[in-house]
Chain A
Amino acid sequence: MSFDLALRLTEALLALALIQQGLEHLRAFRRERILFGARIVLCLLVLAGVAQPWPLVALAVLSLLILQRFQGPYNGGSDRLGLLALWCVTLARVLPVEAWRELAFGYLGVQLMLSYFISGWVKIVNPDWRKGLALRQVFAFSAYPVAESLRGWAGRSRLLLAMSWAVMLFELAFPLTMIAQPSLMVGLVVAATFHLANACLFGLNRFFWTWLAAYPAILWLQQRLF
């Protein structure tokens, strides 16, 4: 995948993800409607490829106003990756030297890889995760399960132990999938399935779309490095 194609795919997928989030905000309060209405218009310009790179620059500036509005990311990790992706693709469009542009875009790919590896590492060093207890606690009392009936999963300790180890081992092994393009694609399909499960069970739909949007960056990075 060429740099230009990967960058174009990333910015288009990111624009779609931001439009999906923006539409959710249009039902909210007046000031949010103004901020997110403007963001939707800018995303449509990015999708149409009009006046590049200025809609991306405007989106990056607007992201600061949105951060100020909510005093942080609205939805934690998913919005953080969205911000990172936005600033990386913006820099990859505006920096004057090709090597710098590649560095900015490659940084997104590296962070995507680290998002899995570090998540796996911080879990496996925690005895509660190794014993399956942490995932039982997530289902038992955390704010995430989307329905009360899902809290019953907390009693399925063997299943949750297996799920805990499957998640930890996959996350830790993810960097190894970058050895070859086919293995990376398999890794990304597994990762997308993981995000889909999180979206269904915990209502984390923004993670699904935002992480998918960054996949072209890591696919390009793999080809660039190996």
Chain B
Amino acid sequence: MANPVSLLAPALIPSWNFFDVIAASPRVEYALAEARDAVLDAWIEFRPRPQRLSPAAMLARLFWNPRWNESLFLVSCAERLVEEPTAHGEDEIFRRIAADLASRPDAAPWLSFRLLFLDPAGGREVLYQAAPRLRSDIDVG
């Protein structure tokens, strides 16, 4: 775990290189299974964006946008996980998927996720896949 002072430094001496290079972009996908060693082949995109959003809805998100901001946080976690795998990044993604699935107690008990990266040339590559965890073991409180 990085210490908070080292995490603060880039904010106090910022680089401001927004969108300097358009890199491969991650998508979080998850799969459910009845057993830990089951073959995972039915991957589902986590929180796919809506087909359309009205201008009023876009403006409303100026004031209330928690799910989208959480999705952007997961993009950061995904990029960090691929650069330098940590338990923290994996835990954060597991917790949020499990929290969304909490309303489906009848769903299969084992949960896994993978990070699919889309590149500018249209390529799609899975760069990370987490070992399955029991949904009941994931703290969503």
Contacts and interface: CB of A to CB of B under 8 A. Distances in A.
B104 interface: no
Contact of A138 (B1, B8, B19, B69): B19
Nearest to A118: B16
Interface stretch (A19-27, A176-184, A218-226): A19-27
A157 interface: no
Nearest to A167: B19
Max chain A CB contacts within 10 Å: which of B2, B21, B51? B21
Contacts of A50: none
A74 B11 CA distance: 12
A39 interface: no
A44 B111 CA distance: 41
A76 B76 contact: yes
Given A63-B8, A84-B11, A137-B22, A74 B69 contact: yes
B53 interface: yes
Interface string B44-74: 0000011111010011011111101111110
Contacts of B18: 77, 119, 122
Interface residues of B, number: 57
Contacts of A115: 14, 16
A205 B72 CA distance: 12
Given A74-B73, A147-B49, A111 B22 contact: no
A80 B11 contact: yes
Interface residues of A, number: 57
B141 interface: yes
B17 A64 contact: no
Nearest to B122: A141
Contacts of B119: 141
Contacts, number: 156
Nearest to A138: B22
A124 to B, nearest CB: 10
B79 to A, nearest CB: 10
Interface stretch (A51-59, A65-73, A94-102): A65-73
B120 interface: yes
Contact of A149 (B51, B95, B120): B51
A205 B88 CA distance: 26
A201 B68 CA distance: 12
A72 to B, nearest CB: 5
B11 A199 contact: no
A93 interface: no
B65 A205 contact: yes
A146 interface: yes
B31 interface: no
B52 A118 contact: no
Interface of B: 1-5, 7-8, 10-12, 14-22, 25-27, 49-53, 55, 58-59, 61-66, 68-73, 75-76, 80, 86, 88-89, 92, 95, 99, 118-120, 122, 140-141
Interface of A: 20, 23-25, 27-30, 63-65, 67-68, 70-77, 79-81, 83-84, 87, 111, 114-115, 118-119, 122-123, 126, 128, 134, 137-138, 140-143, 145-149, 196, 199-201, 203, 205-206, 208-209
Given A83-B11, A122-B18, 14 more contacts: A64-B5, A71-B89, A72-B76, A81-B14, A111-B16, A118-B15, A122-B16, A140-B120, A141-B119, A142-B22, A143-B26, A143-B71, A199-B58, A205-B65
